[in-house]
Amino acid sequence: MTETPVTDLFIIGGGINGCGIARDAAGRGLSVALAEMNDLASATSSASTKLFHGGLRYLEYFEFRLVREALIEREVLLKAMPHISWPMRFVLPFHKDMRFDSETPTSKLLTTVMPWMKGRRPAWLIRLGLFLYDSLGKRGILPGTAKLDLAADPAGRPLKDKFRTAFEYSDCWIEDARLVVLNARDAETRGAQILTRTKVLSAERHADHWVITLQDQATGGTHQRRARMLINAGGPWVADVLHQKLGQNSRENVRLVRGSHIVVPKMFDHGRCYFFQGTDGRIIFAIPYEEDFTLIGTTDADHPDPDTAPECTAAEQDYLIDFASGYFNQTLKREDIVWTYSGVRPLYDDGASSATAATREYVLTLDQAQAPLLNVFGGKITTYRKLAEAALAKIGEVFPKLPGDWTAGVALPGGDFAVTDAETLRSRLAADYPFLTPYWTRRLIRAYGTEAREILGDAKSTADLGQDFGATITAQELDWAVTREWVRTGEDYLWRRTKLGLRLDEAQRGAVDAYIQGKAAQLAA
């Protein structure tokens, strides 16, 4: 084994928290290395509901600080990544049978004070929650709440006739896996080393440094790294890393909660989302997805351990189908499902009685008994940047002369344009590359923003972009993905960097995988 020079920080975990911390730290002048045992965003960070949101339902758990922080962050993030994030309006239909989760503090309080309500969630309470939602955070781009007459509004057409009234509010869409990759790319530009498919086997703690033993997942070879400080951002594996890989005793732990989603053919023609409340007190979203589909989710179920791959179970599929069918005119069936995905949320274990009630707050613990160790528990995608700032505040106790916070409003790669200029960007790209279809143009801008031109280069026709794999995928784009975005398999590209796997058949997906693996082998040679 060869020994490398000592770095300031070594980060375990290539999800949104690890990559967000790497970017922030590298931007403050620290030397940073990050190891991810699989592909970037291969677990929780590619399996979210794809929303930057304040968490309307968290108000019922009195998590006002978390909601306020997330509400303020929505527009900060939107300005820094207008290609992969954009505003959306959410339609919340109302009817008298809506109920609380019986575990919420709000439900317990109101049931005690007004027992005749029998756990119902009344319209006045929803209006109060939406008033707080509009008021707790600053809004400059996102419009406020409105009341809708579903008999007249197009949002009412796909719904059952019993829904006559709705409330409409704002949140934002986010391409979650691309968010992780762009943070990693920006971190690398600022000097960080990003080591994908590199597993941490162990880490030995000394008085003033760590010795980390790593394994290359492709070759099986091992090597060591040294770092002054170790950051455990292992997501679902954070406790396993802490106890098994690092050999540390700690009572801190995570609660693993599985969230599953289904994707079905497009169920409505407008661009708004639905926020549905169930008679069991839970909520789900129905969201326009990849132009031709509808995304429905999520569930909340305890998950046994991080090494058990999460799957959307038959029971979860039926639950989501029945839930959505209770609102839509169209009755969904199992055979309507074209894809499912499931992720494990590593929530901080606060002893809550149910998965739904477990806190979404993040917790950072700094251990300086010897060489410092920072553990990251919990968190949500909307507050990843604030979590990184909080982590850097902790790191500042070890490196006291760090510059201050800097990431607010600083564009991620491809995001250097105004939110309001997205349509202009699309129009100019279409004019300069007339062979692009409208769908292709939209897809490139929403994935790559201003970097779409770098991918297209001086192409005058589709033939100039190399092999055509279908669904607007070309060899030139795949070359970019391999050389610039750590793509090594077809799955990396088709289901994380994009969702174009939905538009290809098995043979086409196989051709993409073969090309990518061949290109990656050339790069490694």
User: Under CATH, what is the fold of the domain 419-524?
Assistant: Helicase, Ruva Protein; domain 3 (1.10.8)
Examine the pLDDT at 102 and tell me if it is beyond 60: no
Residue 4 carries which DSSP code? P
Per-residue confidence band for 109, with pLDDT thresholds at 50, 70 and 90: very low
CATH 3.30.9.10 assigned to 257-348:
yes
Residues 260, 310: contact at Cβ < 8 Å?
yes
Examine the pLDDT at 63 and tell me if it is beyond 90: no
pTM, to two decimals: 0.93
Which residue in this structure is represented by tokens 């790669």? 413
Q: Is 296 helix (H, G, I), strand (E, B) or coil?
A: strand
Question: Mean per-residue pLDDT for 384-409?
Answer: 96
Q: Two tokens at 115?
A: 């027992």
Per-residue confidence band for 66, with pLDDT thresholds at 50, 70 and 90: confident
Between these two residues, 51 and 250, which has the higher pLDDT value? Answer: 51
Q: Is 159 helix (H, G, I), strand (E, B) or coil?
A: strand
| Arithmetic mean of pLDDT over the chain | 91
Question: Mean per-residue pLDDT for 427-452?
Answer: 98
Question: Mean per-residue pLDDT for 429-442?
Answer: 98
- Residue 351 exposure: Cα atoms within 13 Å on the Cβ side: 2
Residues 83, 449: contact at Cβ < 8 Å?
yes
Residues 231, 43: contact at Cβ < 8 Å?
no
Show the DSSP H helices in 225-313 as ranges: 238-240
Give the pLDDT score at 99.
57
Distance of CA 434 to the CA centre of its chain: 33
Per-residue confidence band for 466, with pLDDT thresholds at 50, 70 and 90: very high
Per-residue confidence band for 120, with pLDDT thresholds at 50, 70 and 90: low
Residue type, 347: L
Q: Which of 332, 310, 309 is nearest to 320 (CA)?
A: 332
- 255-310 confidence digits (pLDDT tens): 899 999 999 999 999 999 999 988 777 899 999 999 999 999 999 899 989 999 99
Q: Two tokens at 379?
A: 């968190």
Write phi, then psi, for 102 (nearest 5 degrees).
Answer: -65, -15
Measured CA angle at 13 (ends 10, 16), to 5 deg: 115
Write phi, then psi, for 460 (nearest 5 degrees).
Answer: -110, -10
Give the pLDDT score at 512.
98
**Residues found in the chain:** 525
Q: How many CB atoms lie within 10 A of CB 491?
A: 17
Residues 453, 420: contact at Cβ < 8 Å?
no
Q: How far apart are CA 191 and CA 29, in angstroms?
A: 8
Show the DSSP H helices in 303-421 as ranges: 314-325, 384-395
> Any residues with CB less than 8 A from the CB of 377 and at least 6 apart, and which?
238, 252, 253, 254, 346, 348, 362, 363, 364, 365
Q: Two tokens at 131?
A: 């008033």
From 251-255, 401-405, 433-437, the region with the lowest mean pLDDT: 251-255
Q: Which of 479, 465, 494, 485 is nearest to 413 (CA)?
A: 485
Distance of CA 284 to the CA centre of its chain: 17
Give the pLDDT score at 123.
79
- 177-226 confidence digits (pLDDT tens): 999 999 999 999 999 999 999 999 999 999 999 999 999 999 999 999 99
Give the pLDDT score at 137.
83
Between these two residues, 397 and 65, which has the higher pLDDT value? Answer: 397
Distance of CA 169 to the CA centre of its chain: 21
Per-residue confidence band for 114, with pLDDT thresholds at 50, 70 and 90: very low
Give the pLDDT score at 295.
98
Q: How many CB atoms lie within 10 A of CB 113?
A: 8
Residue 298: cis peptide before it, omega within 30 degrees of 0: yes
Q: Is 94 helix (H, G, I), strand (E, B) or coil?
A: strand
Give the pLDDT score at 474.
98
Rounded (10°) CA dihedral 47, 49, 55, 56: -150
Q: Two tokens at 424?
A: 């202009």
> Any residues with CB less than 8 A from the CB of 438 and at least 6 apart, and which?
430
Secondary element (H or E) of residue 367 = strand 362-367
The domain ranges of the chain are 7-44+177-253+359-395, 55-67+85-174, 257-348, 419-524
The pLDDT > 90 percentage for the chain reads 78
Beta bridge partners of 346: 256
Residues 69, 227: contact at Cβ < 8 Å?
no
Q: How many CB atoms lie within 10 A of CB 311?
A: 12
Q: How far apart are CA 38 and CA 29, in angstroms?
A: 27
CATH 3.50.50.60 assigned to 7-44+177-253+359-395:
yes
From 1-5, 329-333, 399-403, the region with the lowest mean pLDDT: 1-5
Give the pLDDT score at 105.
52
Torsion-angle region of 351 (φ positive above 0: left; ψ -120 to 50: alpha; else: beta): left
> Any residues with CB less than 8 A from the CB of 372 and at least 6 apart, and which?
228, 229, 230, 366, 398
Examine the pLDDT at 116 and tell me if it is beyond 80: no
Question: Mean per-residue pLDDT for 472-484?
Answer: 98
Q: How far apart are CA 467 and CA 254, in angstroms?
A: 46
Residue 57: exposed, middle, or buried by beta-carbon count in 10 A (0-12, 13-18, 19+)? buried
Residue type, 331: T
Q: Is 285 helix (H, G, I), strand (E, B) or coil?
A: strand
> Any residues with CB less than 8 A from the CB of 31 and at least 6 apart, and which?
7, 8, 9, 191
Question: Mean per-residue pLDDT for 374-387?
Answer: 94
Give the pLDDT score at 115.
45
Question: Mean per-residue pLDDT for 36-53?
Answer: 96
